[in-house]
Amino acid sequence: MPKVGKKKFPYTAKGKAAAKAYAKGEKMESKAEKRMEMKKGMKKMGKKK
């Protein structure tokens, strides 16, 4: 079974498509989280001066 994170998907056409969609959603979330962390870090760095 394809495994994405902690989720498992069946080896069917629907399962593979679901795994891809889930992985793409996870990737987008992690990118958004990283962006937010960078913004917070930049604000903190600006305050230190």
- In this prediction, the residues of the chain whose per-residue pLDDT falls under 70 are 1-2, 28-29, 44-49
Quote the mean pLDDT of the chain. 76
Q: What is the pLDDT of residue 38?
A: 76
How far apart, in whole angstroms, are the C-alpha atoms of residue 49 and residue 44? 9
Q: How many domains does the chain have?
A: 1
Phi, psi of 9 (to 5 degrees): -125, 145
Question: Which residue range forms the structural domain that includes residue 29?
Answer: 3-48
Taking the model in full, what pTM does it have? 0.49
Percent of the chain with pLDDT over 90: 2
Decide: residue 3, CB within 10 A, 0-12 exposed, 13-18 middle, 19+ buried: exposed
